[in-house]
């Protein structure tokens, strides 16, 4: 054991015996550097323990956890690495520890904490401790209390500047949620926090409400699909991850997947592939050739994924696509990924309301 390491072997055994659910409760995080923590709540306790061990600002961890998974612990299978799969990034748990052929923060977390990799994938408490250890290691020996000083570290931990922007927007605006265990959490706004700027390529998207965030050129096929004979379906996906993480995945030269658009829970829209080009999203080449793919931030197993803002932003986008390419708004042409022949996925999941979505698409298409 390293000199001065308070994370003793007894601590590790105690940690492994602690369950991941605990008592339901509430978390109240102050809006300044000295904000107080309520003393109840299992998730609060897990974050607090990680903070004590690694001296990372608790508000920062809460904001990252919310951006990652809305403070829920997804099963390891949700976005396990699978070559050629749209959602197969290899990201695990609330802190989205990564394992794929070119990045291994899961292994780094295991090395830093001494916790088994399978526990880091399946235990919320272990995952939080592991993610915090990785974040602290990136920062180095000096752990500044100022939230702004962690921007570059957060970007390196996640998928780049866009991820840091999402995290710092969450810090600035605040957020609250009741998670599936019944625990209520609230992160109060931090008005003085500066949000890092995101710079995009000087390119005009096909949809004027979208930001251009180009996928890596090797993750889609250049084409010239401008007629209704070439584009006749719209396929809805759920990302099994965050808005920034999904865009970052499409920009990774190793991913070999992409979708035309990504929609965030707050109504953000990014275009990653031109409508005229063929995104690799459906897992079926014939469908890829004749469809537009729309990814949505969130998880198939989480009903809170489908926010009001997301439904309306996506429906407005879909209406634009359907009008532009003369796609009928019906159950045969505006479909979920699971309806693609050969699909083994339930994507976008049972919580996606097709009736509501198509009704909204028709509404915006008439405008």
CA-CA distance, 322 to 326, in Å (whole number)? 5
For residue 298, give both structure tokens.
């969130």
- Give the full edge-to-edge strand order of the sheet including 261-263: 211-212, 269-271, 261-263, 291-296, 233-236, 334-336
Q: Does domain 211-366 have CATH number 3.40.50.300?
A: no
Tell me 303's DSSP state.
G
Which pLDDT value is given to residue 315? 98
Where are the strands (E) in 150-298, listed by range? 175-178, 184-187, 211-212, 220-221, 233-236, 261-263, 269-271, 278-279, 291-296
Q: How do the domains of the chain map onto residue ranges?
A: 9-179, 211-366
137 neighbors 117 (Cβ within 8 angstroms) = no
Burial code (b: 16+ CB inside 10 Å, e: under 16) for 141-166 equals eeeeeebeebbebbbebbbbbbbbbb
Helices 42-54 and 124-139 meet at what angle, rounded to 10?
30
CA-CA distance, 201 to 214, in Å (whole number)? 8
Domain 9-179: give its CATH architecture. Orthogonal Bundle (1.10)
CA-CA distance, 342 to 282, in Å (whole number)? 10
The count of other CB atoms within 10 Å of the CB of residue 265 is 20
Which pLDDT value is given to residue 263? 98
CA-CA distance, 140 to 102, in Å (whole number)? 22
Scanning the chain, the segments in alpha helix (DSSP H) are: 9-17, 42-54, 58-69, 105-113, 117-122, 124-139, 151-157, 161-173, 243-250, 285-289, 308-325, 354-366
331 neighbors 231 (Cβ within 8 angstroms) = no
Distances (CA, A) of 213 to 89, 201, 276: 18, 7, 16
The count of other CB atoms within 10 Å of the CB of residue 238 is 27
143 neighbors 56 (Cβ within 8 angstroms) = yes
| Nearest Cα to Cα of residue 64 among 34, 95, 42 | 95
Which pLDDT value is given to residue 110? 98
60 neighbors 91 (Cβ within 8 angstroms) = no
For residue 316, give both structure tokens.
């407005």
- Cross-strand pairs, 336: 236
Distances (CA, A) of 251 to 175, 209, 215, 356: 28, 20, 4, 31
C-alpha R_g of the chain: 21
Question: Across the 367 residues of the chain, what is the mean pLDDT of every consecutive 10-residue run?
Answer: 30 34 42 38 88 96 97 96 90 97 96 98 97 98 94 95 97 95 94 86 87 96 79 96 96 96 97 96 95 97 96 98 96 97 91 98 96
254 neighbors 243 (Cβ within 8 angstroms) = no
């Amino acid at each position: 054991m390293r000199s001065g390491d308070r994370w003793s072997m007894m601590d590790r055994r105690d940690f492994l015996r602690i369950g991941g659910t605990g008592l339901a409760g509430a978390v109240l995080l102050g809006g300044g550097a000295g904000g107080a923590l309520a003393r109840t709540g299992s998730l609060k306790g897990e974050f607090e323990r990680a903070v004590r061990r690694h001296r990372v600002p608790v508000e920062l961890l809460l904001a990252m956890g919310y951006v990652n998974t809305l403070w829920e612990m997804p099963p390891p299978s949700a976005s396990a690495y699978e070559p050629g799969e749209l959602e197969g990034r290899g990201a695990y748990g609330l802190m989205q520890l990564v394992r794929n052929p070119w990045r291994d923060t899961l292994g780094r977390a295991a090395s830093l904490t001494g916790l088994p990799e399978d526990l880091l994938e399946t235990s919320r408490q272990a995952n939080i401790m592991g993610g915090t250890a990785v974040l602290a290691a990136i920062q180095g020996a000096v752990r500044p209390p100022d939230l702004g000083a962690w921007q570059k570290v957060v970007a390196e931990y996640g998928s780049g500047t866009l991820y840091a922007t999402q995290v710092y927007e969450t810090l600035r605006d605040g957020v609250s949620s009741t998670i599936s265990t019944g625990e209520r959490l609230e992160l109060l706004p931090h008005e003085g926090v500066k949000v890092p700027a995101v710079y995009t390529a000087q390119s005009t998207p096909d949809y004027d409400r979208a930001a251009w965030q180009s996928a890596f050129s090797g993750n889609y096929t250049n084409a010239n699909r401008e007629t209704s004979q070439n584009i006749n379906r719209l396929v809805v996906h759920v990302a099994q991850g965050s808005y920034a993480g999904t865009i970052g995945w499409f920009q990774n030269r190793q991913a070999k997947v992409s979708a035309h658009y990504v929609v965030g829970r707050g109504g953000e829209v990014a275009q990653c592939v031109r409508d005229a080009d063929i995104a690799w999203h459906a897992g079926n080449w014939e469908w890829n050739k004749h469809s537009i793919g729309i990814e949505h931030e969130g998880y198939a197993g989480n009903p809170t994924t489908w926010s009001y803002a997301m439904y309306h932003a996506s429906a407005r986008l879909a209406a634009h696509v359907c009008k532009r390419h003369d796609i009928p708004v019906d159950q045969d042409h505006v479909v979920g990924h699971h309806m693609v022949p050969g699909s083994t996925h339930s994507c976008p999941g049972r919580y996606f309301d097709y009736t509501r979505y198509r009704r909204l698409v028709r509404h915006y298409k008439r405008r």
